[in-house]
Amino acid sequence: MFKIVDGLRTIEFGNQGESRSALLEFIFNGNKRATAGLLSDYEEEGEPVEHVGEVLVVLGNEFEEVGRIRITKVEVTTFIEVPDEFALAEAEGDLNAADFRASHSEFWTKSGVTVTDDTKVVLLYFELL
């Protein structure tokens, strides 16, 4: 289960440490306005996919609240069908969907997850509050 703060679900970006710090920097001082997760993670946690308008509490490296975001768009698609638009909105250096697939396949593989073209991915677009 995701941690609840002030009655709101929370969201963690990347892995705790350098990865999370970099992604938080992209959100608060850059253009990152999207993130991706594996649908299987939601299913394993018994959590529903976020919905448009939902406000999430962003957690830092010590699992403290560092900000809040509002979901503006949600898509569930296959890994192979992630669009260029998403890669650019995610603003992690990927310039198109092929870059996204390469970097995220590497990330998830290092996390112990095998990703195929048919793996279901949740694409969240958000605004910083």
| Total-model pTM | 0.92
- Give the chain's domains with CATH numbers: 4-128 (3.10.400.10)
Residue labelled with tokens 């603003």: 91
For residue 1, pLDDT beyond 70: no
Span 71-81, pLDDT tens digits? 999 999 999 99
> Tens digits of per-residue pLDDT, 30-46?
899 999 999 999 999 99
Amino acid at 8: L
Looking at residue 30, its pLDDT comes to 84
CA distance 66 to 54: 17
Beta strands in the chain (DSSP E): 4-5, 8-12, 34-38, 55-59, 65-78, 120-128
Residues 82, 123: contact at Cβ < 8 Å? yes
pLDDT of residue 10: 96
